[in-house]
Amino acid sequence: MKRRVLAALMAGAMALSLAACGSGGGDKSSGGGSASGGDDNTLTVFAWDPAFNIPALEAAAADYKENVNPDFNLEILEQAASADVETAVTTAASAGDFSNLPDLVLFQDHYIQRYVADYPDTWTPLGDIDINWDDFSAEKLDYSTIDGEHYGVPVDNGTVICAYRTDILEQAGYTIDDLTGCTWDEFMKIGKDVHDKTGKALLCMNSDGNDLPYMMLQAEGVSQFKDGKPYITENETLVEIVEKLVQMAKDGTLLMPNSWSDYTDKAIQGDQVAGVMNGNWIIPTIEKVEANSGKWEITSMPTLSGGEGYASNGGSSLYITSNCQNVDLAKDFLAKTFGGSTTTYDNALRDGGVIATYAPAGETEVYQEGVEFFNDQPIYADIVEMGTHVQIVEQSDYHYSARNYVGTAIVNIINGADTMEALQEAEDQLNFEMGN
C-alpha cells in the first residue's frame, strides 16, 4: 500500500487545485465552480491510480452508458494519491464549503469511519439504494457500514493471498499443499528448510510498514483493538504472533527490507524470496518478473492451530458526497455497476487488475479462467471465494498507527529489546496518540 502522507501546509494549495479541477468544463464554470457534474447525465469522481482503480471506473462508466443510459458521462478527476482525496475532504469540511468536492469519491476503507465521524456533513448515506448487500463480503462492508447505515459501495478486494514459488519449494522437497492449512509452527519448519536449502526466505514484509501482524491476527479472528482501545500487551494472540515473526526473522524465514521499494523491487522482483503474503493487489508486482511466469501459485494463510486462514489488507469503496447535485443518478450508477454488474467487474479485472468482493463476479468465465503466470490456476475466482471467509474484527481509525508502532516494536525485539517492554512502548505510544 502506498504510505499515507498528510501535509497541513498543502491544505490551502489543495483547495485551489481542487477548484481548478472542478471548473474544467463550461457547465461547471456556470455553476459557480462546483466540482459536481451539474447536469442530469454527468457525474464527477476523485480517484488516484491510473493503472488500477481508474480503469475500473472507466469500465463501470462504459457499462452504465451502454446498458443503462446512453447519455451518461463520468468525469474522472485524477488525484496524485489517496491522501489528496483525504486532504480535499478535510479542507472542504473545515471551511464548511463542499462545492469543490465531486459527486463521488473513492476512499480508503481503513479511514472512512473516522472521516464520517469527524465530517458527517460531507457524506450522503445510500439509504434505499437497489443493492443486494448479501452478495458482498461481510468484512468489506463492515468498513463502510456506520451505525447500521450503508455509506459506500465496494470497488476492490483486499483479500490476502499467500503466493509461493513452487519451483523453489520443490527444490526443498515441498509443494504448495504442504503450506495449505498448515500451522505457523509447520510453516516455520518448512521456511527454515527452504532457506537452508535454497537461500530464499519464505516470507517477506517491509519493516517500515509491517502489515503481517494485522493479517495474522485477523486470520485468528482477533484485533489490535478492543472496545475502542489498543489491545497489545494483554493480547496473548498478538504476543504469540510477534514472537513467531521475530523467530522467523532470526531463522532467515522472514526477510524484512527497510522500505516499500526494497520490499517490492529488491525482495519480490529481485528473486530473494519464495513466498509473498499480502493483499491481492500485490499480484501486479509479482507479475513484473516475466521469467517467473508459471512458477507461482496462491493459497490461503496458515493459522496458529492449523486450518486455512483468511484476512484482508487494504482496499477502497465509492462514496457520494454532499455536493452531489444528482443523488438519484449517483445511486443508480453505483447500483448498476459496482453494486451488481458482472460486466463492470469483468472489464475492471481485464483493464486494471481490480478483483471484486462481489460474489457473483467469481462465477463468470473471466474470473474462472486460469492465469498462465500462476500455473493456470483460476486465482481470481479463488480470491473472491477466499474473501467470503474473512472474519470481521474490530477496526479503528488508528489502524495504521497501530501497524507502525507494532512494526517498530518487532524491529526493536529482533535487535535485542525485551518483547513485553517493546510492546508496552508501542501500546503507550498508541494510547497517547489516541488521547487515552
Domain boundaries, the chain: 8-158+315-363, 160-311+392-434
Q: How long a stretch of residues is the chain?
A: 436
* 415: alpha, beta or left? (left if phi > 0; alpha if psi -120 to 50): alpha
**Nine-digit cell at 308?**
486455512
Pinpoint the alpha helices (H) of 107-264. Answer: 109-118, 138-144, 166-171, 184-198, 212-219, 236-251, 260-261
Reported as a pLDDT band with limits 50, 70 and 90, residue 23 is: very low
Could you tell me the pTM of the whole model? Answer: 0.84
Candidates 334, 328, 323; CA nearest to 35 is 323
Of 7 and 146, the structure prediction assigns the larger pLDDT to 146
In angstroms and rounded to an integer, the radius of gyration of the C-alpha atoms of the chain is: 22
Task: List, for residues 357-388, the tens digit of each pLDDT value.
Answer: 999 999 999 999 999 999 999 999 999 999 99
- Tell me what pLDDT residue 13 has: 35
Residue 14 clears pLDDT 70, i.e. is over it: no
Cell 447525465, located at residue: 41
Name the DSSP letter for residue 173: T
CATH number of 8-158+315-363: 3.40.190.10
Residue 241 clears pLDDT 60, i.e. is over it: yes
Share of the chain above pLDDT 70, in %: 92
Helix-helix angle 109-118:82-95, to 10 degrees:
0
Reported as a pLDDT band with limits 50, 70 and 90, residue 34 is: low
- Identity of residue 291: A
- Tell me what pLDDT residue 138 has: 93
> What is d(CA 94, CA 98) in angstroms, rounded to the nearest whole number?
9
- Tell me what pLDDT residue 39 has: 84
**Nine-digit cell at 396?**
479503528
Task: List, for residues 108-144, the tens digit of each pLDDT value.
Answer: 998 899 899 999 999 999 999 999 999 999 999 999 9
> What is d(CA 108, CA 347) in angstroms, rounded to the nearest whole number?
22
Reported as a pLDDT band with limits 50, 70 and 90, residue 328 is: very high
Positive or negative: CA dihedral 195, 199, 201, 206: positive
The fold of 160-311+392-434 is D-Maltodextrin-Binding Protein; domain 2 (3.40.190)
Residue 287 clears pLDDT 80, i.e. is over it: yes
